[in-house]
Structure 1
Amino acid sequence: MYEHKFVKVDLSSFKRSPKEDYHLIVYEHEKEGWELVQIFAPGIQQYGMPSFFELIFKRKVK
């Protein structure tokens, strides 16, 4: 059985670049035993552009 964690990363309004360094988020979660499963970016703003994306992690339940 697995537990899951969802980490939201907001994107800047103009550049559409992440407001946080998502690389560091992934590295820190790996240290805690989490595995990155997917990066999800829903198209929800003008012209289908996302305003955020989510990092989806999983790890085995101990």
Structure 2
Amino acid sequence: MYEYKYVKATLGGFFTEANHHEIIDKHAKEGWKLTQVLPMYYNSNGKPTEYEIIFEREIEK
């Protein structure tokens, strides 16, 4: 059986930096496996501005 974790991430913008590398590295150290990345919100040009990163890990019995 698996448990899942959903984390919001951004690719950055004019005044902000992307944070996806830090999020993935942090969760990998905690035993989470990257499962999927979904774009959640788009700007007026159709470019995704926010993502949801989905992690999974096996539940220890």
TM interval, shorter chain, is: 0.7 to 0.9
Q: Is the 8 A contact 2:6 2:52 kept in 1?
A: yes
CA RMSD of aligned residues (A): 2.3
Q: Where does structure 1 lack aligned partners over 5 or more consecutive residues? A: none
SS at match of 1:46: coil
* Percent identity over paired residues: 39
Tell me the distance in 2 between the aligned counterparts of 1:50 and 1:4. Answer: 23
**Length, aligned pairs only:** 60
TM value normalised by structure 1 = 0.71
Following TM superposition, the consecutive aligned residue runs of length 4 or more in structure 1 with deviations greater than 6 angstroms are: none
CA shift in 2, pair 1:13/1:25, >3 Å = closer
Higher helix share: 1
Higher strand share: 2
